[in-house]
Amino acid sequence: RIAYVNGEYLPLEQASVSVMDRGFLFADGIYEVAAVLGGRLVDNAGHLARLERSLSEIGIANPHPVEEWVRIETELVSRNGVTEGLVYLQVTRGVAERDFTFPKDTPTTVVAFTQAKTITDNPLAETGAKVITVPDIRWQRRDIKSVALLAQVLAKQQAAEAGAAEAFMVEDGSITEGSSSTAFIVTKEGTIITRPLSNALLPGITRRAVIALAAEFDLKLEERLFSVEELHDAAEAFYTSASAFVMPVVSVDGKVLGDGRPGPVARRLRELYFTFAE
């Protein structure tokens, strides 16, 4: 596998960064994950716009214009022969003597790699995913796609140990989002609900696409807070991300939703996204 590090394409085994990298020492950096389908990047403009925003929110200058990012991504996809999978991009504040304040005139560290992965024929989408709810113990700027992911690592591990694929995180009784996805429910009346954007959650690129599809295909959707109780009582639930696309949820905290199979709204949106993803 070929990875990208600061302008160079290297075999993954030779791709490395310094132990003094601020990404390693302070999680002082941000990342993006975009899907590849049929060899093409999905919703890439949205991912690169969010990369720019995340960097700007933490005061790191974007090291590349959009065209250069696209060149790096395309080069990696092609060198690795990825037809379906993910592209990962990471930018940190660079290598410097360990000191909390920003270093001066230090170049950023840029790392990118691909992961081959089955997205379309994911067997989990056929059976539907189990999720658990966990307290959202993250910081207050979850709108920034920071590489500081310890709370998500712990949540996902807790889910895995409970036999679940995802953890939905809870703050003040409401779901914020999944540990690596946006959370949705469908009420018994058939309305799709997802939390409005704020600093409490990541502005999902797949979320935005799903909201646009719901509008285009006349599915009723509301952006509002929803509680754990509403989730437990929902007709359906699903989550979205670059890696899961639209993933139907069939049980929450061991409680089965509907008939225990992927619901019609989640299945429809999954299909629409495959058909219309750009």
Question: Judging by DSSP bridges, how do beta strands 182-186 and 174-178 pair with one another?
Answer: unpaired
Q: Hunting for tokens 């295909």 — which residue is that?
A: 217
- 23 touching ligand PDD, by CB under 6 A: no
* Shortest CB 241 distance to ligand PDD, Å: 4
- 242 touching ligand PDD, by CB under 6 A: yes
- 54 touching ligand PDD, by CB under 6 A: no
* Shortest CB 33 distance to ligand PDD, Å: 4
Burial class for 63, CB neighbours closer than 10 Å (0-12, 13-18, 19+) = middle
* Residue of 54, 90, 92, 241 that binds ligand PDD (CB under 6 A): 241
* Shortest CB 102 distance to ligand PDD, Å: 25
Identity of the residue, 95 or 273, whose beta carbon is nearer to ligand PDD in the bound complex: 273
Identity of the residue, 242 or 266, whose beta carbon is nearer to ligand PDD in the bound complex: 242
The whole-angstrom distance between residue 257's C-alpha and the CA centroid of its chain comes to: 24
Of 220, 131, 133, the closest CA to residue 174 belongs to 133
Region class of 7: left (phi > 0), else alpha (psi between -120 and 50), else beta: left
* Residue of 177, 200, 247, 273 that binds ligand PDD (CB under 6 A): 177
- 109 touching ligand PDD, by CB under 6 A: no
* Shortest CB 204 distance to ligand PDD, Å: 3
User: Do 145 and 32 touch, CB atoms closer than 8 A?
Assistant: yes
> Which residue lies nearest ligand PDD, judged by its C-beta?
206
User: Do 13 and 96 touch, CB atoms closer than 8 A?
Assistant: no
Q: Which of 130, 145, 156, 188 is catalytic?
A: 145
What is the enclosing helix (H) or strand (E) of 259?
A: none
* Shortest CB 181 distance to ligand PDD, Å: 5
* # residues contacting ligand PDD (CB under 6 A): 14
16-21 — which CB contacts under 8 Å span 24+ positions? 17/92, 17/95, 17/109, 17/111, 18/95, 20/95, 20/96, 20/97, 20/98, 21/92, 21/94, 21/95, 21/109
Question: Is 220 tagged catalytic?
Answer: no
- 33 touching ligand PDD, by CB under 6 A: yes
Site string (185-224) toward ligand PDD, x via CB under 6 A: -----------------x-xxxx-----------------
Residues that bind ligand PDD (CB under 6 A): 33, 177, 180-182, 202, 204-207, 240-243
Residues with a catalytic annotation lie at 145
